[in-house]
Amino acid sequence: MARGYLMSDRALEGLDERQLEAVTTLRGPVAVLAGAGTGKTRVITHRIAHGVDTGAYSPGRVMAVTFTAKAAGEMRGRLRGLGVEGVSARTFHAAALAQLNFFWPSLAGDTAPKIVDSKVRLLAHAADGIGIDPDTPTLRDVASGIEWRKVTMRSIDQYVAARPNGIGRLSAGRVADLQRAYEKLKDERRQIDFEDVLLACAGMLEAEPHVAKAVHEQYRHFTVDEFQDVSPLQHRLLELWLGERHDLCVVGDASQTIYSFAGADARFLLEFESRHVDTRVVRLETNYRSDAAILDVANALMRGRPGALHLRPSARAGARHPVPAVSEHRDDQAEARAVATAVAGQLAEGVDPRAIAVLYRAHAQSAEIVTALADRGIAASVLGGKRFFDLPEVRQAIMELRAATVAPIETGFVDTVRDILRTRGLTDDPPQAGGALRDAWEARAAVLRLAEEAPEGTTLRLFTDDLMARAKAQDDPALRTVTLATLHAAKGLEWDHVHLIGFAEGLLPISYATTFEQVDEERRLAYVGITRAGRTLAVSWARGPRDRSASRFLREIGSGTLGAAGGSAPSDARRHYAGAPRSPADGAGGGMPRR
């Protein structure tokens, strides 16, 4: 018992008042409204650890659900650090697939169907079968439509009613024909797609009472991270997992709902208290990531939005940094060169390149930035590119390091790693130019850095075991490079210094965001980008060949919280945002009123 109290105290260490309230509220329903940078993962893991340490939870009966394998892996790692093993921390799909694979043989007398490896490829075959030949982009959009239809729990006819305009050159009717052909071909091949995993698991729990009973016996306590991103299908599956019980803790932030286009529905978070009797609501609004000036910008942008939290800096935030600045540029090339110059200045001041990010709305915007940084000899990694452990240089290094474990090692472990990497091109100094050679050098340097940072007593065998485990868990190390990322890819990450580019109409909000809801989602994307920054934030935009104007979001934020680069506002920036009042029509464009 003494050990339990000791570990329980450990789980409660270092928490602020609101975090402590969330962690010690062990029985649901609980809604933790966690703003950006407020320590939500810490709260989730410490709450589970406190529940286990006090005997309120049995680890094997806890399910913690999140949205990415990486986030689930991080959750498991943090729980291990708190002395907790055996908790099921998984994505919705991984949890559902495990249940399908377990119960399917007893229900159907056979193994579960295989997962479709490519919707687009299967759609191409289905299209051949009905005599149409759509191009690959059209097939990709049809695949996205199938995913949206399933996670929003619509039939094909309901999908057509909701999206009557068709896709590309395909009419709505032909899209429906193609979707039906896809489903038929999939059934003939005895396959299921990613969304079918959730549908099949939900169907199994609804149709088989003994399966539902077994799941209810196995899992008693549920935690769902990023609850603002739950789709109707995921919410239905969660209800089936819960049954008649109410021991559920949800954690989320409505202001970070950026996947509505893929079926996410923040109403499940916003309406949680009204759906669940006696809900305990805890608001986490103390931000431990960002400077006060950055939080002022974020709060101004989201002021008055449904579910918006008011972020405030922590007492240990330290000295206030300069007010985030906005700069205007002639064209995208000039903007990219200016950002590269600013990044070069930060590096010259000794900033670690891993602490710098350039964020943008769309992948296409990265090309100019990549070129401008390369012209200055600055290495950059595009987030969402090839995964670290999938890089050929890394795979080759792991293979050769693994082979070296069978022979006696005459030098130190780290020296052995260094020697092997040198035979493959690792030098003391990186290549000056960007490009493939620099990328390969950075990858090998990252492997060496992992060896240098390994705990004392690590052997080559243990090191390669760890590399293989990290590869399986998609736990990629940060390369010693500047990060380039879309706003979607940046979600959940943070950097000390962020350059947010393309803050112009047509880019942010993006041109095809025409409805109130679509523009609202673009605003949340901007908010996500702003709240990634810890110490400094620089915002920029360019007129371009079509004479773009500054983003309406700059007008909403106002010049009280955003300064101008160089100390004086560019004339066009004054005209578009400086000090403009926030009127009821500002948020949606086109004269649409605010909610």
Q: Which residues are annotated as a binding site for ATP?
A: 34-41
Which residue shows structure tokens 């000090």? Answer: 579
- For residue 520, what are its two tokens? 């609202």
Residues with Cβ < 8 Å from 372, sequence gap 6 or more?
A: 333, 336, 337, 339, 340
- For residue 548, what are its two tokens? 């773009």
Residues with Cβ < 8 Å from 595, sequence gap 6 or more?
A: 306, 516
93/99 Cα distance (integer angstroms) = 10
Q: What is the DSSP string of 274-288?
A: HHSTT-EEEEE-EES
DSSP 8-state code for residue 152: T
Cα→Cα distances 580→54, 322, 324, 508, 557, Å = 54, 22, 17, 18, 9
Question: In which element (H, E) is residue 485 found?
Answer: strand 482-486
- For residue 86, what are its two tokens? 């055996």
Cα→Cα distances 207→201, 204, 215, 437, Å = 10, 5, 13, 56
Please report which residue ranges of 109-189 form alpha helices under DSSP H. 119-129, 136-151, 156-162, 172-188
- Hey, how many other C-beta atoms are within 10 angstroms of the C-beta on 227? 31
Point out the annotated binding site: 34-41
Which residue shows structure tokens 């193994």? Answer: 111
- For residue 19, what are its two tokens? 């975090």
Query: Please, are residues 509 and 536 in contact by the beta-carbon 8 Å criterion?
Result: no
